[in-house]
């Protein structure tokens, strides 16, 4: 099929933008529903946001969970080795997200996916803290899932 890689690239960008937009809409909805007795969230938004959160979170988790083999870093000092390892992990996020051939593109996409996930996760924690018991289930789930993943990533960092 001609243009397959372009279509894949387009879908990768749409998925990331969809994740960000759905997250922003969930944040807005959480504040609009604050204090309501029986808050009714949009089912379609919940399903789409859940699917995209699973996709982006899964990609980021898989990429950060990948152990790099020697990758040619054996002769480098520890700081150089960690810097190269970080770049390789971000390339892997891009590889998980799409089939791009260019390493720089993979690294940039990996960074975009990781930063989007981190920023949405932090925003979910802040909104959950502000709204407390009035926070919607999607906000609470995003926040607690992000906290769990963040703890695993930070813990792995100190084990390297």
Residue 66 — pLDDT band, cuts 50, 70, 90?
Answer: very low
Name the least confident of 67-76, 100-109, 110-119, 128-137: 67-76
Residue 55 reports pLDDT greater than 70: yes
Domain ranges of the chain: 4-159
Q: Whole-structure pTM over 0.85, yes or no?
A: no
Tokens of 139: 């906000």
Q: What is the DSSP letter of 68?
A: P
What percent of the chain is modeled with pLDDT above 90? 38
Dihedral over alpha carbons 160, 113, 15, 124 (to 10 degrees): 90
**pLDDT surpassing 90 at residue 97:** no
């Amino acid at each position: 099929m001609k243009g397959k890689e372009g279509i894949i690239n387009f879908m990768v960008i749409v998925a990331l933008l969809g994740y960000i937009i759905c997250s922003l809409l969930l944040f807005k909805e959480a504040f609009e529903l604050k204090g309501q007795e029986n808050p009714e969230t949009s089912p379609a938004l919940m399903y789409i946001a859940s699917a995209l959160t699973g996709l982006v979170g899964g990609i980021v988790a898989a990429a950060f969970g990948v152990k790099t083999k020697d990758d040619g870093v054996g002769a480098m000092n520890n700081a150089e080795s960690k810097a190269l390892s970080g770049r390789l992990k971000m390339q892997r996020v891009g590889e998980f997200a799409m089939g791009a051939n260019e390493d720089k593109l993979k690294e940039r996409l990996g960074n975009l996916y990781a930063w989007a996930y981190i920023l949405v996760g932090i925003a979910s924690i802040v909104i959950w803290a502000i709204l407390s018991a009035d926070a919607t289930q999607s906000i609470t789930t995003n926040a607690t899932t992000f906290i769990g993943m963040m703890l695993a990533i930070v813990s792995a960092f100190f084990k390297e």
